[in-house]
Amino acid sequence: MTGSIVQVNISHGGVPKLPIAEGRVSSLGIEGDWHNNPRFHGGPTRALLLICSEVIEALIAKGYPLFYGALGENITTRGIDHRQMRTGQRYRLGEVMIELTKVRGPCAALDVYGPAIKQEIYDRQVKAEDPSTPRWAMSGFYASVSRTGMVRQNDIIALVDQVV
C-alpha cells in the first residue's frame, strides 16, 4: 500500500487538531501536540493517530460537519485503504517509521459533530478486532514511532512490512 500525507495536525488538547506545514515526530508524537486525557491518548503506543481522508470525505457526504483534523488525527492520509490496515504493519511516512498498534476507540469528544458519528465509525466488530466489518479503522489507527524525523504534507506513505 502506498499513499500520501494530505495534512499534518496538532492541537493544544482535544479536537479539532489544526494543520501545520510540517512536524517533527518524536517517540511520543508530533512536537507541540497535546492531549486532554493522556490516560487514553498519546504515549509511546499511541504516539500518532492516522485517519484516511476518504473516511472523512464519506462522513462529510453523509452530512457530518467535518474537515481534516476534526476527528483528532495527527496524520490525514490519502490512498491508504483503512480496511487493509492491521496492527503490526510498519509504514514509512516521509523520514519517519511507524508501526500500527491499535484501532482507536472513539470518545465523547467526537459528539460535537453529532452523537451518531461514533456508530458510523466504530462497532462491536471493530472493538472485537474483527477487520471484516466495513467500519474497520474508520475511527483511525494509533501508531508507535520507531524512527523519528520530519513529516510534511504530500510526503509519501508506504507500507514497509507486517510485523505480526
- Under a CB-based contact definition with an 8 Å cutoff, are residues 145 and 96 in contact? yes
**SS3 call for 71:** coil
The Cα-based distances of 116 to 8, 20, 46, 62, 113 in angstroms read: 26, 29, 25, 11, 8
> What's the pLDDT score for residue 154?
98
d(CA 142, CA 42): 9
Give average pLDDT by consecutive 10-residue segment, the chain, 164 residues. Answer: 96 93 96 76 90 98 98 97 97 97 94 94 97 97 98 98 79
d(CA 140, CA 48): 10
> What's the pLDDT score for residue 115?
85
> What's the pLDDT score for residue 34?
86
Strands (E) across 94-164 are located at 96-103, 141-147, 149-152, 156-162
> What's the pLDDT score for residue 74?
97
**Residue range 2-162, CATH number:** 2.40.33.20
